[in-house]
Amino acid sequence: MKVNPAYQTKQQLLDLYNKPLLELVFEAATIHRQFHDPREVQMSSLLSIKTGGCSEDCGYCPQAARYNTDVEAHKLMTVESVIEQAKNAKANGSSRLCMGAAWREVRDNKDFDNVVEMVQEVNNLGMEVCCTLGMMNENQALRLKNAGLFAYNHNLDSSPEFYGDVISTREYEDRLNTIENARKAGISVCSGGIIGMGEAVEDRIGLLMSYMKMETPPESIPINALVAVEGTPLEDQKPIEQWEMIRMVATTRILFPEAIVRLSAGRTKMNMEGQALCFMAGAGSIFAGDKLLTTPNPEFNEDKEMFDILGLVPKEPFKDGVQPVSMPDAQIEARKRKEEEREAELKLARENAIQEGFEPRKVTSVESL
């Protein structure tokens, strides 16, 4: 059951969200137990592979170039350093690595080729690989799928009505298209939203209704509480009460019984009891490690202690789908062939020059020419 047929109208959803808290949690917990092992919680690590300097104006985001935040911009990480971080995350118990780039959209360039290689390498470590790279077209989605990508994260963030109050540089429709492109490529979809941006409860319900309207709703739905970052337009938003997070997790769980509901950003403002109620109400995943993309998150050890106290166990990778096989990427292979041919041509030219008595120039690689 991908969508719960018992809830259809906006009023029914609002009544559900506003139900007495413990009744709501009980209903969600009951559904959770029918579709999931309630002791298992997936640990997913986030890695910001390209940080800051983003051209978009998402009002919550510390990585938008136009806001004056403390985030230091970094160009794309190297494939080697990503592998090192992935191994670290795996050793700490994470079964999934989610690589995030502060891009408006994916572009067909060398950086994207490198991301494709990162996907291949991390998949080959036996971890589920997720990417969140902004908008992408169908061909880019296919390349990621072929490389072994398990999931693509692209959030709708809020209701279509509230969305424009927070973001103006791209449309809700653009986001729906990217989600559709991931879906068409056969990639599992991770899409959710943020609460605490000043939206009404109707907007939280509006977000969930957008997913109900999809032919196939997301396999994974992250629920973030706004991390209000100094310098962003939403810096003065009052933190939401953790009860709101519990209600949102529970409502999402009831509406989408098969999906994994992710208790995402905002856990540093929650206590263990609040998080326990979220797990009770169906949260099946957390982001693990002391950093989200740019903002703080509880330490691995703190989460380990919480898991021990609550009797939770980290979920093994690929329990919700077989591990994809990483295939060679045609574009990367063609580029490498071209580079090899060029190297060979240069070598030959150098050898000919030596034979003809010229002193060769010292060249270490094609790149340095």
Active site residues: 54, 58, 61, 98, 130, 190, 262
- Three-state secondary structure call for residue 220: strand
Sign of CA dihedral 122, 316, 217, 291: negative
In angstroms, what is the minimal distance from the CB of 222 to ligand SF4? 13
19 binds, among ligand SAM, ligand DTB, ligand SF4, none (CB under 5 to 8 A by kind): none
Q: Of 14 and 65, which has the nearer Cβ to ligand SAM?
A: 65
Spatial distance between the Cα atoms of 108 and 117, rounded to a whole number of angstroms: 14
Q: How many CA atoms lie within 13 A of 77 on its CB side?
A: 22
Name the H helices within 148-187: 160-166, 172-184
| Min CB(157)–ligand SAM separation in Å | 5
Q: Rounded to the nearest whole angstrom, what is the least distance from the CB of residue 226 to ligand SAM in the complex? A: 5
Of 60 and 279, the one with the shorter C-beta distance to ligand SAM is 60
Given ligand SF4, ligand SAM, ligand DTB, none, residue 64, with its beta carbon under 5 to 8 Å by kind, binds ligand SF4
Determine contact, residues 264/223, Cβ cutoff 8 Å. yes
Please tell me whether residue 195 adopts helix, strand or coil conformation. strand
Contact map string, positions 250 to 269, toward ligand DTB, x by CB under 6 A: --------------xx----
Q: CA angle 83-88-94, nearest 5°?
A: 105
Binding-site partner at residue 154 among ligand DTB, ligand SAM, ligand SF4, none, CB < 5 to 8 Å by type: ligand SAM
Nearer to ligand SAM, 63 or 114 (CB): 63
To the nearest whole angstrom, how small is the minimum distance from the Cβ of residue 249 to ligand SF4?
Answer: 22
User: Which of 220-228, 233-241, 251-259, 355-363 is the region at the interface with ligand DTB (rule: CB under 6 A)?
Assistant: 220-228
Chain residues 26-55 in contact with ligand DTB, contact rule CB under 6 A? 46
Distances (CA, A) of 234 to 155, 224, 230: 18, 14, 8
Query: Which of 353, 358, 350, 282 shows the shortest CA–CA distance to 366?
Result: 350
Q: Which two tokens stand for residue 57?
A: 């104006």
The amino acid present at 160, given as its one-letter code, is P
Whichever of 230 and 340 has its CB closer to ligand SAM, that residue is: 230
CB 189 within 8 A of CB 260: no
Sign (positive or negative) of CA dihedral 96, 166, 298, 312:
negative
Binding residues for ligand SAM, per CB under 6 A?
Answer: 60-61, 63, 100, 102-103, 132, 134, 154-155, 157, 194, 224, 226-227, 229, 265, 293
Number of residues that bind ligand DTB (CB under 6 A): 17
Considering the complex, state which of residue 131 and residue 255 has its C-beta at the smaller distance from ligand SF4: 131
CA distance 98 to 336: 27
144 vs 293, beta carbon nearer ligand SAM: 293
Tell me whether residue 29 or residue 251 sits nearer to ligand DTB (CB atom). Answer: 251
Give me the residues that bind ligand SF4 (CB under 6 A), please.
54, 56, 58, 61, 63-64, 102, 104, 134
294 binds, among ligand DTB, ligand SAM, ligand SF4, none (CB under 5 to 8 A by kind): ligand DTB
Provide the minimum distance between the beta carbon of 265 and ligand SAM in the complex, in angstroms, as a whole number.
4
In one-letter notation, the amino acid at residue 117 is E
Q: What is the 3-state secondary structure (H, E, C) of 68-120?
A: CCCCCCECCCCHHHHHHHHHHHHHCCCCEEEEEECCCECCCCHHHHHHHHHHH
Using the rule CB under 6 A, is 195 a contact of ligand DTB? Answer: no
In contact, 294 and 51? CB cutoff 8 Å: yes
Residues 108-167 within binding reach of ligand DTB (CB under 6 A): 132, 153, 155
Contacts with ligand DTB by CB under 6 A lie at 46, 62, 98, 100, 132, 153, 155, 192, 222, 224, 227, 264-265, 292-295
